[in-house]
Amino acid sequence: MTHRQPDLVRFLATGAVLGAVIAVLVAALGRDVPYVKGLQEYLLFILIGGGAGLAVGAVGYLIADRPRLGS
């Protein structure tokens, strides 16, 4: 049986998009951040959530690709 290699770009993109969506939900349902306008708040949350989702996607890729890496 051949081992299919996971696609790194799909893992990273999925993680970033899911992180950004969760961040928008948190920004919409949470309290307002003082001294920050509405759009700036959403963009800040999207940036942080997307980055965190990107990192989670990278860890997910490493776990999915573990047999090929030799662990």
Return per-residue pLDDT of the chain as tens, 71 residues: 566 788 999 999 999 999 999 999 998 898 877 787 878 889 999 999 999 999 999 999 999 887 766 65
pTM: 0.82
Distances (CA, A) of 69 to 7, 37, 63, 66: 14, 46, 10, 5
Cβ burial, residue 49 (10 Å; 0-12/13-18/19+): buried
What is the pLDDT, as a whole number, of residue 70?
62
CA 22 to chain centre: 9
What is the pLDDT, as a whole number, of residue 31?
82
